[in-house]
Chain A
């Protein structure tokens, strides 16, 4: 059974700081890994999707990397802003598991002005 873990569970940083969120998964047989953002009272918004054959994806100030063999992914946020405050979740889609996603518990990020 696939298990996804995110560390840390919560993070508070001053504005402008670069930061890294971590995600690990136990089964390396994955199709892809996604990073989502969830604002309070809202649904999830996909930020980046990394295919199993890729090493990283970038979107603006966000960069996600994937090391499939070691079961790890990181989300790097450059020059953090108060608007980045949200919960960030990673999810993996396993091979031969249809279209099911297994989510981590999330990292709750607070960026202080």
Chain B
């Protein structure tokens, strides 16, 4: 398996523009997570899905952020409008049968976002 695939790997955009980050989880995984990593706050969970349904979005910072998972093999995280403080690395991760305590989680290589 190719692992969790994220795109774009790097994005530089101007403040106010819409940003869409994409993720393809590992085939067969039923949990998908979006994390954000910054120097100041470390890794934070933004939202996660189970079987394409959003379960917990309490980590989404504000209404400018939205996430969708239209099918088991694709998810998007959208920021509209973007602001400089959104600059971070956004990670997508997936896991299988998440409620089993021994299951691990697999991360993509991240989307490095810079908003200028």
B109–A42 touching, CB < 8 Å:
yes
Are B107 and A44 in touch, CB under 8 angstroms? yes
Interface size, A (range): 20 to 34
Q: Which 9 A-B pairs have the closest CB atoms?
A: A99-B98, A43-B107, A103-B43, A31-B101, A44-B107, A43-B109, A46-B104, A105-B42, A32-B101
Q: Does A98 lie within 8 Å of B56, measured CB to CB?
A: yes
Query: Which one, B42, B48, B56, B101, contacts A51 given CB within 8 A?
Result: B101
Residues of B within 8 A of A (CB): 4, 31, 33, 42-43, 45, 48, 50, 55-56, 91, 93, 95, 98-99, 101-102, 104-110, 112
| Distance from B6 Cβ to chain A, minimum over Cβ atoms (Å) | 8
Q: Is A52 interfacial (CB-CB < 8 Å)?
A: yes
User: What is the interface of chain A mostly: helix, strand, loop, or mixed?
Assistant: strand
Q: Is the beta-carbon distance between B98 and A49 smaller than 8 angstroms?
A: no
Shortest CB-to-CB span from B86 to chain A, Å, is 19
A101 to B94, CA, bound (A): 12
A43 x B91 contact (CB < 8 A): yes
Contact (A99, B48) CB under 8 Å given A42-B109, A44-B91, A104-B42 = yes
CB pair A49 B104 closer than 8 Å: yes
Also in contact, A51 and B43, with CB within 8 A (given A43-B107, A98-B48): no
- C-alpha gap A89/B105 in the complex (Å): 13
Which residues of the other chain, B, contact A104 by a CB distance below 8 angstroms? 42
Given A99-B31, A99-B48, A100-B45, 20 more A-B residue pairs with CB atoms under 8 Å apart are A41-B110, A43-B93, A43-B107, A43-B108, A43-B109, A44-B91, A44-B93, A44-B107, A45-B107, A46-B105, A52-B101, A89-B43, A93-B101, A98-B55, A99-B50, A99-B98, A100-B48, A101-B45, A102-B45, A106-B42
Q: How far is the CA of A98 from the CA of B4 in the complex (A)?
A: 21
Name 5 A/B residue pairs within 8 A (Cβ), A-sorted: A41-B110, A43-B107, A99-B95, A99-B105, A100-B56
